[in-house]
Chain A
Amino acid sequence: MKKIVEISNINLNYHTLQGETQAIKDLSLDIYNGEFISIVGPSGCGKSTLLSLISGILKPSSGTITINGNQVDGPSENVGYMLQKDHLFEWRTIMKNVVIGLEVKNKLNKSTLEFVERLLNEYGLGDFKDFHPHQLSGGMRQRAALIRTLATNPDILLLDEPFSALDYQTRLAISEEIWLIIKKEKKTAILVTHDISEAIAMADRVVVLTKRPGEIKSIHEIILTCNYKTPIKCREAPEFRVYFNEIWKELDIHV
């Protein structure tokens, strides 16, 4: 398979008046085209920071990140970011919300609009495009946020705990839906999450980070025996529990 993201030996230090904090230490990771990667780790280990680095809104103190062979330097065309909350703008309709990325990139034209219309119709928001966000349920809003990310047609999706603001049932349903959409649109995805089950259920590989400064502790290739590999079905696989226990132990959480 083709490598799409290459992270090599990156370090990141934060500077504050109190001193210097090492957030990420000597981290290297290759991600392949079409892969779904989950990143788990203790709180404050630099998971979200890693996504900011890949998206180009933060620069590493040292080391390089390349996407499709090009070094990341500033917000990249190929990357779409999905945040914890949907952050749909209340003053815009759903249609106006999902095209905001195209607007910012000055790419609002007939073909991109058709593409967005197709996404909205295909993923059940076609009838709601003239609604305002407060008229939609939490799950629909999160789907709209995904379409906003897909609208600029990125190759890689960065998902920064995108389900954590939802209640548990909605969360299961929406993570399934979003996983299916991502697979159908053939995107590469990197998911940051606190939820070990979610990480295993959605991913091809789970990356476990250490406490700060974040380093890679281990990488688990997830191979589950289930007929249709979708996040909810996967949870029934016998190996699921084994992966869960292994990762839980590695996270080494003491409260």
Chain B
Amino acid sequence: MFNKDQQTIPVSKDHVEFLKKIKLTKIAIKTSQLSLFIFIFLFWEIAAINKWIDPFIMSQPTRIIKTIINLSKDGTLYLHTGVTIYETIVGFLSGTILGTLIAIILWWSDFTAKVLDPYLVVLNALPKTALGPIILVWIGGTTQSIIVMALLVSIVVTILNVYTGFIACDEDKIKLLKTFGATKFQILKKVILPANISNIISVLKINVGLSLVGVIVGEFLVSKSGLGYLIIYGGQVFKMDLVMTSVIILSAVAALLYLAVHWLERKIGNIK
């Protein structure tokens, strides 16, 4: 119950061995992860130098580094990366907020939820990227249409996941509040929402990845900037160095956004 009581036990030799073993395994995993990373890039570089692969088509790590330096000199690197990050964050925040609001409406009115159920199922199954050209025509080749794309990709999953979490809430907790005479709004505010915070955060985690898909597809279709634009442009003019560089920066962006949500999750977990 209280950790204070457990610390007074003297540490035995066995326990020290046990802790050491766990620590060693941890170090071994980290070292292997790093070695694998170095190995892949080293092998890629050696293969390109020895002409086992054609660096014009496959690119190579030193060329990528060179490209990154060149791009950052004239600032285009920051511009394109910034645009993609901005579109992704706006897209996934609005997707999550709007999706949660719709989930609240569905929870509020069981009738609405039942009426909309088949539509949500179909929309969920539909690959949202197929709507790209429609959005392009309706909204135009602007940043807005890319954000809408990101929003569309994430919103249906948000609605379904959050709504499922809402209705899975313990009936007895709701009954408890009802015995105090709680209104539906009070039940929402005091039980449903706080009980679902961690659920919503895990939806946020899924949405970061999904919104990035939406943004890149959007940029493929319409834009004049962003990492998606760099990738498609590089492909068209056959600059594979540019394509590979953009993909690698994109993976870094994806990882960073994911880590940011993960950090948020832990922060909120601590408050709880």
Contacts and interface: CB of A to CB of B under 8 A. Distances in A.
Interface of A: 55, 57, 74-75, 77, 79-81, 83-85, 87, 89-92, 100-101, 103-105, 132, 135-137, 152
B133 interface: no
User: Looking at chain B's contact residues, is the secondary structure mostly helix, strand, loop, or mixed?
Assistant: helix
Contacts of A57: 175, 178-179
Nearest to B179: A81
A89 B173 contact: yes
Interface of B: 1-2, 170, 172-173, 175-182, 186, 190-191, 194-195, 197, 272
B1 A87 contact: no
A135 B1 contact: yes
Contacts of B173: 87, 89
A57 B195 CA distance: 23
Contacts of A80: 179
B179 A84 contact: no
Contacts of A77: 181
B181 A89 contact: no
Contact of A83 (B176, B180, B195): B176
A103 B190 CA distance: 10
A152 B177 CA distance: 12
Contact of B172 (A85, A103, A152): A85
19 contacts: A57-B178, A75-B180, A77-B181, A80-B179, A81-B176, A87-B170, A87-B173, A87-B176, A89-B191, A91-B194, A91-B272, A101-B180, A104-B180, A104-B181, A104-B182, A104-B186, A104-B190, A135-B1, A152-B180
B179 A55 contact: yes
A81 B3 CA distance: 33
